Amino acid sequence: MEDTAVLEIRNLSKSFAKNKVLDGIDLTVKKGTVHGLMGENGAGKSTMMKCLFGIYAKDEGSITLYGKPVDFKSPKEALENGVAMVHQELNQCLDLPVMDNLYLGRFPTRLGIVDEAKMLRASNRLFVSLNMNVNPKTTMRSMGVSQRQMVEIAKAVSYNAKLIVLDEPTSSLTEREVKKLFSIVDNLRKQGVSFVYISHKMDEVFEICDEVSVMRDGKMILTKAVKDTSMNELISAMVGRSLEKRFPDVDNKPGKPFLEVRNLTTKFDPVLENISFTVNKGEIFGLYGLVGAGRSELLEAMFGVRTIASGQEILDGKKLHFDSSKDAMAYNFAMITEERKKNGMFGKDTIKFNTCITNLDAYKSAGIISPRKMFNAANRQIRQMNTRCVSSEELISSLSGGNQQKVIIGKWMEREPDVFLMDEPTRGIDVGAKYEIYQLIIRMAKEGKTIVMVSSEMPEILGVTNRIAVMSNHRIAGIVNTSETNQEELLRLAARYL
């Protein structure tokens, strides 16, 4: 490890109107190190990175790269100068092959024509060097979120980036995928590549980072060597108070069997095979498994957006058949999707619109939608979810990831669902907001709502559920009581049919 500063940010400030979102920020990232960056949603992490990448113009302060002042006007200019970023919300051309996404905007050419053979060779060399098993000809859409994230990291490396910003890079990865990512990061670190590692996951920061900085309310609160700090100190710096426990008490009392999935098999790849389980009323039922095990596909089948070949769902003794999500919603099913930006929200519309869109009939007066009712509903959910925003008329895209997720949960709460399917409900949410979401999930269960929750975070699945079904290769490998299991058993079951 060297002490040479790759990136130095000094006295960086940025305001939007009268709102000062960055206030005199200092940050130093050393060569060949991983520098953790933590803070609650809205703390200013993303704004600081956008100033670095030229998306926002800074109001004051300086940014130097290898001792030379820089003032990038666009992410493209940053890339060309060896600074890359892998975003949590992936922006890729899903209908193009992997190699086209890697070299978009800089295709190798021969006699004025794209040299696909050269691009294929370069892609293969890149993936071999990173020990990634990816076929460059695979269409992006056919790949899981975790694989597409790995492609983005490979793309950053292909630019010979000397500083790579990773924004919540493990939000869709399981334990095995995380270890793979850390191995790649470690190898690149040894080659002198530096990283800014933005994450809400304490365990990972302590495992992979050399130093860590914490932001709160636009200010830099703390910067320390990871070995010299503790989880409690970081949490206290992030939220301005001590969080005594990582998870609330799971004190709901599940009732009688309420939701049954019986011999469910899906029609199209990946095919789920003979999935069966029963969830009790007021229970928090976890779904765990490695990436590609079929967890998201199972929720989609249960919500009517994936075709079922055989088997059935039974709700409170009544056999159900959903041809669409509209059918599922008619039976008071709700679903949070894994990728909120892709299929969970209308990014170009307001908080009010996104809160009310799934329940428009409830806001009508004399057959006409009432703006007043929509306004009241949106503000009710802003209060209940503790969403940080200016008003319900604010664009949802202007919110931090965690606050966007709160709006999405709030829109479903407006429908008062009986069954709530949750796919990675705390993905990309900070530690303080996560605790609030956990409290909400437990409160919903205590009110009698039945919850089926997918999570790739082992501590989370063990921390907030009553029982856990573990999936392996599109099948149920076992169902365990949360209070009687451990990480080793879950991983063993997850590998059962591999």
Q: What one-character DSSP code corresponds to residue 191?
A: T
* Greater model confidence, 165 or 104: 165
Question: Same domain, yes or no, for 427 and 304?
Answer: yes
pLDDT tens digits, residue range 56-90? 999 999 999 999 999 999 988 998 899 998 877 67
Question: Same domain, yes or no, for 235 and 263?
Answer: no
pLDDT tens digits, residue range 449-482? 999 999 988 889 999 999 999 999 999 999 999 9
Please state whether 125 falls in left (phi above 0), alpha (psi between -120 and 50) or beta: alpha
Which pLDDT does position 172 carry in this prediction? 67
* CB hemisphere CA count around 268 (13 angstroms): 7
Decide: 31 and 6 in contact? Cβ < 8 Å.
yes
In the chain, the amino acid numbered 365 is: S
Q: How many domains does the chain have?
A: 2
Q: Flag whether 252 is in a domain.
A: no
Question: Same domain, yes or no, for 221 and 305?
Answer: no
Widest pairwise Cα distance in the chain:
71
Q: What is the mean pLDDT of residues 146-155?
A: 84
Does residue 380 surpass a pLDDT of 60? yes
Question: Same domain, yes or no, for 92 and 165?
Answer: yes
Q: Flag whether 403 is in a domain.
A: no
Does residue 254 surpass a pLDDT of 80? yes
pLDDT tens digits, residue range 408-420? 989 998 999 999 9
Angle at 183 between CA 178 and CA 184, to 5 degrees: 100
Question: Same domain, yes or no, for 152 and 62?
Answer: yes
Residue among 7, 460, 470 at smallest CA distance from 204: 460
Question: Same domain, yes or no, for 158 and 194?
Answer: yes
Question: Same domain, yes or no, for 186 and 326?
Answer: no
Q: Flag whether 247 is in a domain.
A: no
72 to 27, 76, 495: CA distances (angstroms)? 17, 9, 46
Does residue 2 surpass a pLDDT of 60? no
Query: Is the bond preceding 169 in cis, omega lying within 30 degrees of 0?
Result: no
Mean per-residue pLDDT of the chain: 89
Q: Flag whether 300 is in a domain.
A: yes
Question: Same domain, yes or no, for 175 and 273?
Answer: no
Q: Would you give the end-to-end CA distance of the chain in angstroms?
A: 38
Reduced to 3 states (helix: H, G, I; strand: E, B; else coil), residue 38 is: strand
CATH number at residue 118: 3.40.50.300
Does residue 92 surpass a pLDDT of 50? yes
| H helix or E strand, kind and range, residue 313 | strand 308-315
Q: Flag whether 353 is in a domain.
A: no
Residue among 85, 94, 201 at smallest CA distance from 144: 94
Question: Same domain, yes or no, for 162 and 72?
Answer: yes
440: domain range?
257-332+417-494
Which pLDDT does position 353 carry in this prediction? 93
Q: What is the mean pLDDT of residues 378-387?
A: 90
Question: Same domain, yes or no, for 206 and 271?
Answer: no
Does residue 422 surpass a pLDDT of 80? yes
> Judging by DSSP bridges, how do beta strands 19-30 and 113-114 pair with one another?
unpaired
Which pLDDT does position 1 carry in this prediction? 45
**Percentage of the residues of the chain whose pLDDT score is greater than 70:** 98
Q: Flag whether 365 is in a domain.
A: no
Q: What is the mean pLDDT of residues 108-117?
A: 88
Which pLDDT does position 220 carry in this prediction? 95
pLDDT tens digits, residue range 294-333? 999 999 999 999 999 999 999 999 999 899 999 999 999 9
Which pLDDT does position 164 carry in this prediction? 94
Domain boundary among 239, 269, 285: 239
Question: Same domain, yes or no, for 206 and 99?
Answer: yes
Which pLDDT does position 280 carry in this prediction? 98
**In 373-427, beta strands by DSSP E:** 419-423
Question: Same domain, yes or no, for 191 and 265?
Answer: no
Q: Flag whether 393 is in a domain.
A: no
Q: Flag whether 130 is in a domain.
A: yes
Burial 446-465 (b: 16+ CB within 10 A, else e): eeebbbbbbbbbbebbbbbb
Does residue 241 surpass a pLDDT of 70? no
Which pLDDT does position 243 carry in this prediction? 61
